[in-house]
């Protein structure tokens, strides 16, 4: 099989990266994919940079060894902490989710006040602030960690009173800053988009890094003559590190399609 016809590899700490997979499937409908959700160790966002890096190397090694033409780090926490280090370990393009989201935020803001919500690790790293201000130093960036959103999404609670109240409580602070753009800086948050849009109100544009990342992947595949040529049906493989039950239930509902191929695997540790 030529390099063009092998799959795109995608990993996340859990189910949230499916938001990126869904956009890749929409933007690049003939590409095969292999998705790894490290469900046994989610959440990453509360862990130390050393631990997040170790997990992300193990995930990378698993996907790379299966033969992929491009790696998508569909996790804001990992993209914030170890993207450059991952790039050094493989000889294929590696795409993170921070740069594409930052680029879209800079293009969207009119009043130059941008909010970023993410995990504690992502916000602590200031990755979005650095990326946004490298593109436009006049943009003010307000970061806010919203750690309770991840367990809500993993549980499949993407609407209803608990989510509404949690969002109102978290976002109150950002609303007071007068932002006109809000980056959903965590792969799980696009699943809460409707609630977040309602709570922020019509004047605030939400930036979904997943959509921007899918566009960037298309550009890289086209520029590198890496787009799939084969006409036979594509494949979608899913791997998880814990029991697939919850992942299947929430994932199929979110993707709107069956996950025909899903396996539980053990990741090899470095030592
Ligand atoms: N996927 C992670 C991210 O985008 C959120 C979940 C976690 O904390 O592991 O930051």
Range scoring the smallest mean pLDDT among 127-131, 137-141, 189-193: 189-193
> pLDDT at residue 1 above 70?
no
Q: Whose CA is nearest to atom 7 of ligand 1?
A: 43
Q: Is residue 242 part of a domain?
A: yes
Q: Ligand 1 centroid vs 149 CA: distance in angstroms? A: 10
Q: Ligand 1 centroid vs 118 CA: distance in angstroms? A: 8
Q: Give pLDDT tens digits for 24-46.
A: 999 999 999 999 999 999 999 99
Asked whether residue 86 falls in the same domain as residue 220, the answer is yes
> pLDDT at residue 271 above 70?
no
Q: Ligand 1 centroid vs 240 CA: distance in angstroms? A: 15
Mean pLDDT of 203-208: 95
Mean pLDDT of 44-57: 95
Q: Ligand 1 centroid vs 189 CA: distance in angstroms? A: 9
Q: Is the CB of 127 under 6 A from ligand 1?
A: no
Residue of 98, 188, 207 to mutate, ligand 1, most atoms within 8 A of C-beta = 188
Asked whether residue 179 falls in the same domain as residue 108, the answer is yes
b/e for 98-131, b at 16 or more Cβ within 10 A? Answer: bbbbbbbbbeebeeebbbbbbbebbbbbebbbeb
> pLDDT at residue 22 above 80?
yes
> pLDDT at residue 12 above 70?
yes
Q: Is residue 270 part of a domain?
A: no
Query: Encoding tokens for residue 113?
Result: 């006040």
> Residues with catalytic annotation?
75, 186
Number of domains in the chain: 2
Asked whether residue 202 falls in the same domain as residue 160, the answer is yes
Q: What angle, rounded to 10 degrees, do the helices at 98-108 and 209-223 form?
A: 110
Beta bridge partner(s), residue 12: 37
> What does the mean pLDDT of the chain come to?
95
> pLDDT at residue 84 above 60?
yes
Q: What is the pTM of this model?
A: 0.94
pLDDT at 231: 78
Mean pLDDT of 13-24: 94
* Percent of residues, the chain, with pLDDT higher than 70: 99
Q: Is residue 271 part of a domain?
A: no
Mean pLDDT of 183-211: 94
Name the CA radius of gyration of the chain, rounded: 18
Q: Is the CB of 13 under 6 A from ligand 1?
A: yes
Asked whether residue 104 falls in the same domain as residue 196, the answer is yes
List C-alpha distances in Å: 254 to 19, 20, 38. Answer: 8, 12, 18
Q: Whose CA is nearest to atom 2 of ligand 1?
A: 75
Q: Is the CB of 76 under 6 A from ligand 1?
A: yes
Asked whether residue 217 falls in the same domain as residue 92, the answer is yes
Asked whether residue 39 falls in the same domain as residue 109, the answer is no
Domain that holds residue 146: 98-209
pLDDT at 260: 95
Banded model confidence at residue 173, pLDDT cuts 50, 70, 90: very high
Q: Is residue 235 part of a domain?
A: yes
């Amino acid at each position: 099989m030529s390099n063009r016809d092998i799959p795109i590899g995608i990993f996340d700490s859990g189910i949230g990266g499916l938001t990126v997979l869904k956009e890749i499937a929409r933007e690049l409908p003939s590409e095969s994919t292999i998705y790894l959700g490290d469900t046994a160790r989610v959440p990453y966002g509360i862990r130390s940079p050393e631990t997040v890096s170790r997990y992300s190397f193990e995930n990378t090694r698993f996907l790379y060894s299966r033969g992929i033409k491009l790696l998508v780090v569909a996790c804001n926490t990992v993209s914030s902490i170890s993207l450059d280090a991952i790039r050094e370990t493989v000889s294929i393009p590696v795409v993170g989710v921070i740069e594409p989201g930052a680029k879209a935020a800079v293009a969207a803001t009119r009043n130059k006040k941008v909010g970023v919500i993410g995990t504690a690790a992502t916000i602590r790293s200031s990755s979005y602030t650095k990326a946004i201000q490298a593109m436009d130093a006049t943009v003010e960036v307000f970061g806010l960690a919203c750690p309770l959103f991840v367990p809500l999404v993993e549980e499949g609670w993407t609407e209803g009173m608990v989510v509404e109240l949690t969002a109102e409580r978290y976002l109150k602070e950002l609303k007071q800053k007068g932002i006109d753009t809000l980056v959903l800086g965590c792969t799980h948050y696009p699943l809460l988009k409707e609630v977040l849009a309602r709570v922020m109100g019509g004047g605030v544009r939400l930036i979904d890094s997943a959509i921007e990342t899918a566009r960037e992947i298309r550009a890289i595949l086209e520029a590198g003559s890496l787009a799939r040529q084969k006409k036979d049906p594509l494949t979608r493989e899913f791997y998880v590190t814990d029991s697939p039950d919850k992942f299947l239930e929430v994932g199929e509902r979110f993707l709107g399609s069956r996950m025909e191929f899903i396996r539980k695997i053990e990741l090899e540790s470095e030592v």
